[in-house]
Amino acid sequence: MWFEAIPAALWVLSASICISIGALSIARSHYGRSAKPVRPVGWNVTKCHILSLITGLLAYLVYLVIGASYAEHVQKLYTQIGFISAVVLAALIIADVLLLIFQSRRAERSHIDEVLSGVVHTF
């Protein structure tokens, strides 16, 4: 049935959001190009990160709630890959958090450089 794919679809959605956030953070951090100013992490990226957490948790919650009604071979598949998928998703989420922290630190240093060079005035 189609509803047997709901946990996998939620997991794939969460993982793709995590990968997108990581790629966006790397692109906006301007690694290797110190002359370009780095902007802070936006609220929309933060909201997407929370969305990836929620969809990742929902994938496992949906399986726990309605997984008993799945076919036996589907239950076996989800049971076999459950731990590995949780480790992969946790690694993606931790990598996102680290990349966002690095971007924030680079943005802070970039702002300090702009203030000290007189490009940006603070009052």
Q: What is the pTM of this model?
A: 0.86
Rounded mean pLDDT of the chain? Answer: 90
pLDDT value of residue 50: 95
Helix (H, G, I), strand (E, B) or coil at 119: coil
Cβ-proximal residues to 26 (8 Å cutoff; 6+ apart), any chain: 99
pLDDT of residue 123: 55
Q: What are the distances in angstroms from CA 63 to CA 36, 78, 86, 117?
A: 46, 8, 13, 55
